[in-house]
Structure 1
């Protein structure tokens, strides 16, 4: 027996980071009796330890609640808790596509922030009914009336009926539930139409394989149905369907408008892609639901085991992590410095940081992570376009017509006192100014186009330092743009070492090359001959420094005697050093590579 679509309400909670989204979800579960108070704990929908420690949501988690409303009717409320960080924007968009309404939670002490605006626009784009909620009104610094006006002025949403609540104290929770029932529209769809179900998330279970989270748009799904994925064309037999209450609870069938899950012995997440449409084999839908796109990595990083013998363990750990995170990509690669490892692609810096921490915690793998970088497009003179994931992928300088780098459109919200500092930071990072406006007399919004490569290197940390933590940001990828980029090779004793090469803007080449040469000078031990360290662009050397030679005291045995005897010994030593320099090889200890490449090393030369 499926739920009556007229009594179903599907909604999501969207907010900026740390505005109380997960705490409001906790209170809603308590108020509807979905979870008994004795089983309640903070951030109950955040399953991972990392989510709890950092106070962020990484994976979408749906839950079904039965609510007895003031009108005497019982409604089925499906809440889909979404990630808040910009790295997981595609997951958020697919979760919103499964809803008819969204609670826009705004901290009444901080007001509208960058991702408040970004997520609100996403909800409006999906034609959702947006219900503003002012949280943390129990705090002395709360200013609900000001924030109410800010929501109306900045976002353009009527906030006159916005619920004032305190998730911590449980104030205003029933008012939120009544607004969801009254203002969020019931799902539209036809039970008689062919099955169309949107996959908005998927997870791996050791016993069931891939568990697909779906929203039924048209038709119905039940155990034994033969289904087909419209993006991949693969067919399966449904083994189990169920709902989230909040654990996996099997039911007979899922009907129009319902949110639930199904299992069908699907082995990998590549077969159940987020955003794909599920239909019936016997009676397929004519077209897929809109919005599906393949997830693309934007930031790349090398993962290598600290001990080279641990490579198989790292490979197994990445395979298992990939089962729960379809957006992670990895390919094996070899480094002269670090041996065998993997080149991994991520949605952003937070995604990279979370993946690394999960590998170390959940799979007990000790890693060396190289500094993050981006993919460049190199247009050769013969018209061929090459994707360069690392400096070694660059063609020779004479074959390059232009180099294109990925760009982002960056929006920064900051108190007016810090506008000058933020603008200077964006200019230093090669940002192109687009717009500055004051959303309130005290807060400004800056918009810049910025190279992604500049953004991923300490931009956020510097922004928070300059603004004392008051600034917030959001960004979107806007494609590739031609730029004057060069590959800088680091040569040690005239031999280029790939592990130390890097790509940068021509204006930064000397500074970065000098910093790298100085760092290498401290890392490379003295040899029996002088070792030149050079930074070069193609054949042109732009920086040079030397590691001084070890000098044996050949005059120690000369106690007195003629000066010509001493000169003869010194001349003989000099010729020996010249000969050794021609045939000698510089020994670079592994620690030097690790120190230069490790992402945790914060010196300029990394």
Structure 2
């Protein structure tokens, strides 16, 4: 197959705008997957993706249509997995920008569009779900055209029914360029993803820019400085399908004799070992910056090694995950992990528990607050909210409650785009849910880290049964400490299981108690075996029970349930 007949592209959009459904139709029309085998969200291979109805991992697939090869990479739409999108964009020449006809342009539509334009990709704007009764094609067309597209270029399709999807395939052939590169040059390939196979070791996803690679070739990973032998090469159809070689312009996979997950780095450049001195690394690949941090502990100390191996294998498949060892006097040894958001944290927790059969304790998520010369500095982000105009007042009130500083407002047909400068800690927990609530579900948001800013913060201590609960302590805005302390203690009183003794819960700032709740003890009916008789016998048993509870209160320890920290986030 000639390089001129290859088209490499991604589908990008806001979450739930129909990327996975469009990928299903493309698989069906190109006969890549037999219709009897095809099921909804076919490329979403993780069980979690199917359960939640959201794409978590990018998924490449190779298709044939009218003597052309289509290398598609389906990408996630959720803001927490934007790094998956940025990696996919580096491996292709074109992007299909998908917009839901019922909701129009949303925050992630704009964010992904900006990423694609920075990567200098060719773009095809597409309006999806035109078959739905609530579809407003005219409004969606106006909004897309205001993003810099000619209305005549905008395609209208229904990924569900397949209407006009053939026209999209024709547009991909005519509009997207074929990949550059020569098969006669030394090998130059980009690692854009990888995963660990229990039997085959590390499997690496690559985009070949120059040259070719075959089984038994000796290759070198330039950034890692490692040499390896290629055991197998192949394509995604969509299952891993071995082939004779991978050549310039193609997207495929490599299996090597490397079995250590720590040795493969996303964004590394692969070349042949005997050419490594003359090849420079492929530029422009940025390491992701974690936004949210939480410490993960195994429920039992013997699982520490198992947790470490699980994180190493997971990082191979999720380059945005970071972790470093940490110990606690309460929970023992664990790992402080960095995530792109709370949803990313929840998905990682579920994958660790399901795929690696681990029982975990996860601490309260926090952001990276710095302290210099006794002054706190907290991370700030530029927040962009897209919403219908009539929700403007409620959204501005919400942003103000969360210490947002207004920057600008733009109009997008019947919608507005609000831009705020806001502390990251104010939006990573439940801001999105509150935004959906005040906008009747219509508003969407995206944010970008912009730096650190001086802040008036104070440590908030949580005391459980007379002992400081270190994992629950946090640094909060001084003017909101009372509100946060009361809310946290009240929630704790609802979530902590009752004991045979009374549990005192307290929140303190600077040694001063600002909130308190008591969890009453469980009561055993010690007088049940008595039948009548002198009342003093009952009083004696009750007094004995009272003394026992008093002793337990002094000696008893409260075990904090392993799922309590994430439950505390839900208001």
1:432 matches 2:405:
yes
SS at match of 2:126: strand
SS at match of 1:282: helix
Deviations 1:433-463, CA, capped at 9 Å, x for gaps: 11112212x3111111121111122111111
Give runs of aligned pairs for residues 82-121 of structure 1, distance below 5 A: 82-121=75-114
Tell me, in whole angstroms, the C-alpha distance in 1 between the residues paired with 2:46 and 2:459. 40
Match of 2:512 in 1: 541
Deviations 1:242-288, CA, capped at 9 Å, x for gaps: 11122112222111111111111222443222222112221134421
Farther-moved stretch of structure 1 (325-334 vs 310-319): 310-319
Tell me, in whole angstroms, the C-alpha distance in 2 between the residues paired with 1:22 and 1:505. 41
1:81 corresponds, among 74, 80, 91, to 74
1:465 matches 2:437:
yes
2:266 corresponds, among 267, 274, 299, to 274
- TM-score, normalized by length of structure 2? 0.87
Tell me, in whole angstroms, the C-alpha distance in 2 between the residues paired with 1:532 and 1:166. 55
1:242 matches 2:210:
no
Match of 1:227 in 2: 219
Farther-moved stretch of structure 1 (57-66 vs 490-499): 490-499
Tell me, in whole angstroms, the C-alpha distance in 1 between the residues paired with 2:120 and 2:78. 21
Give runs of aligned pairs for residues 27-176 of structure 1, distance below 5 A: 27-68=25-66, 74-153=67-146, 155-176=147-168
Say if 1:415 and 1:470, in contact at 8 Å, map to a contact too.
yes
Say if 1:227 and 1:238, in contact at 8 Å, map to a contact too.
yes
Farther-moved stretch of structure 1 (330-339 vs 93-102): 330-339
- Structure 1 residue 134: Cα displacement: 1.2
SS at match of 1:10: strand
SS at match of 1:351: helix
Say if 1:132 and 1:159, in contact at 8 Å, map to a contact too.
no
Tell me, in whole angstroms, the C-alpha distance in 2 between the residues paired with 1:98 and 1:59. 15
Match of 1:453 in 2: 425
- Structure 1 residue 295: Cα displacement: 3.1
SS at match of 2:168: helix
- TM-score, normalized by length of structure 1? 0.82
Give runs of aligned pairs for residues 140-539 of structure 1, distance below 5 A: 140-153=133-146, 155-284=147-276, 285-305=278-298, 314=307, 317-379=310-372, 381=373, 400=374, 402-440=375-413, 442-490=414-462, 496-516=468-488, 533=506, 535-537=508-510
Deviations 1:499-536, CA, capped at 9 Å, x for gaps: 442211111123333445666788798989x9895613
Say if 2:202 and 2:255, in contact at 8 Å, map to a contact too.
yes
Equivalenced residues, count: 541
1:16 matches 2:14:
yes
Tell me, in whole angstroms, the C-alpha distance in 2 between the residues paired with 1:544 and 1:39. 58
Say if 1:12 and 1:102, in contact at 8 Å, map to a contact too.
yes
Q: Do the aligned partners of residues 164 and 359 (structure 1) sit closer, same or farther apart at CA in structure 2, a change above 3 Å counting?
A: same
Farther-moved stretch of structure 1 (515-524 vs 203-212): 515-524
Tell me, in whole angstroms, the C-alpha distance in 2 between the residues paired with 1:318 and 1:588. 35
Tell me, in whole angstroms, the C-alpha distance in 2 between the residues paired with 1:596 and 1:263. 38
SS at match of 1:590: coil
Question: Gaps (5+ residues) in structure 1?
Answer: 69-73, 382-399, 551-576
Q: Do the aligned partners of residues 254 and 488 (structure 1) sit closer, same or farther apart at CA in structure 2, a change above 3 Å counting?
A: same
Structure number, greater radius of gyration:
1
Deviations 1:406-441, CA, capped at 9 Å, x for gaps: 22211111111211111111111111111112212x
- Structure 1 residue 28: Cα displacement: 0.8
- Structure 1 residue 67: Cα displacement: 0.9
Say if 1:15 and 1:104, in contact at 8 Å, map to a contact too.
yes
Tell me, in whole angstroms, the C-alpha distance in 1 between the residues paired with 2:312 and 2:95. 35
Give runs of aligned pairs for residues 514-593 of structure 1, distance below 5 A: 514-516=486-488, 533=506, 535-537=508-510, 541=512, 543=514, 586-587=554-555, 589-591=557-559, 593=560
Q: Do the aligned partners of residues 477 and 533 (structure 1) sit closer, same or farther apart at CA in structure 2, a change above 3 Å counting?
A: closer
SS at match of 1:463: helix
Say if 1:148 and 1:160, in contact at 8 Å, map to a contact too.
no
Say if 1:337 and 1:590, in contact at 8 Å, map to a contact too.
no
Farther-moved stretch of structure 1 (411-420 vs 188-197): 188-197
Tell me, in whole angstroms, the C-alpha distance in 1 between the residues paired with 2:520 and 2:131. 69
- Structure 1 residue 327: Cα displacement: 3.1
Deviations 1:84-115, CA, capped at 9 Å, x for gaps: 22222222112111111111111112111111
Tell me, in whole angstroms, the C-alpha distance in 2 between the residues paired with 1:57 and 1:296. 21
Deviations 1:192-213, CA, capped at 9 Å, x for gaps: 3322111111111122211111
Tell me, in whole angstroms, the C-alpha distance in 1 between the residues paired with 2:139 and 2:492. 55
Tell me, in whole angstroms, the C-alpha distance in 2 between the residues paired with 1:47 and 1:38. 18
SS at match of 2:566: coil
Q: Do the aligned partners of residues 179 and 545 (structure 1) sit closer, same or farther apart at CA in structure 2, a change above 3 Å counting?
A: closer
- Structure 1 residue 307: Cα displacement: 6.1
SS at match of 1:38: coil
Q: Do the aligned partners of residues 78 and 599 (structure 1) sit closer, same or farther apart at CA in structure 2, a change above 3 Å counting?
A: same
SS at match of 2:386: strand
